[in-house]
Amino acid sequence: MTCAELQPLLRDAARGRLDESQATAVAAHLGTCAACRAISEEERVLDQRLEAQLPQRPASLALKRRLAARLPPAVAPTTGTRPRRWMLLALPLGACAALLLVLRPHTDARDPLVDEAISDHLRVVYRDQPVDVESGGPHRVKPWFTGRLDFAVPHVYGGDDEFALIGGAVALFRDRKAALLVYKRQLHTISLLVFPSEGLALPSDGRVRQARGFQVVLWRDGDLGYALCSDLNGADLQTLARRIADQR
């Protein structure tokens, strides 16, 4: 396994999502490669910081009511002892399941692409040097990606008086390499990830999605997907998304 083959697997390895053969190959490579071990350790530390610092918000009353409505109705008592025991056992288990759904911070109802965009954005925010090439305009940043990605970045929005282009870097979006472009609006950091869209269920409505206190806009343009994320208000983020999408 080469470094290029290993690095997209590091996040899944940290979360125990690899099968036995992949996990063995990753462990063997990390045992001999100091550079990949450093990246793996950086990912582990970032995961710990995200887990410790992300805010946890209580579930809304409406969500609690929807969960309660999913519980099975009470069953009339029966004369047999075994059915009644199972009934008494099932009700607390159902209540516990609903409570876990309410309290658990990562639920299946979340859009995994939105979660990925936010996690990648936080990695940008927490890094001291989030870009590998500092902006000298799109004609400096765009050529830098050549040879570093397995696809061509069609265009780079160079920013304006409202949104300044800070620079770029190579990142990961789920299981694939991505071009990372970082913008600033006043004190707000904005991350844009550009990646091959094959196999991803990207939305087509262009609306702002909110999660964990962040705003995310996802869209597809041809064979490429785009994920724009920040703690900016939704209107400002949509303005930037339109300017990026209109850049040709």
Q: What is the CATH number of the domain that holds 204?
A: 3.30.200.100
**pTM for the structure as a whole:** 0.60
Question: What pLDDT score was predicted for residue 9?
Answer: 79
Nearest alpha-carbon partner for 226 in 79, 200, 41? 200
Whether residues 38 and 80 fall in one domain: no
Q: What contacts 7, CB < 8 A, 6 or more positions away? A: 36, 39, 172
CB 217 within 8 Å of CB 206: yes
Whether residues 14 and 93 fall in one domain: no
Q: What contacts 224, CB < 8 A, 6 or more positions away? A: 151, 154, 194, 195, 196, 197
Whether residues 133 and 208 fall in one domain: yes
Question: What pLDDT score was predicted for residue 80?
Answer: 52
Question: What pLDDT score was predicted for residue 209?
Answer: 93
Model pLDDT for residues 119-140, shown as the tens digit of each residue:
999 989 888 888 889 887 788 8
Whether residues 164 and 130 fall in one domain: yes
Whether residues 76 and 166 fall in one domain: no
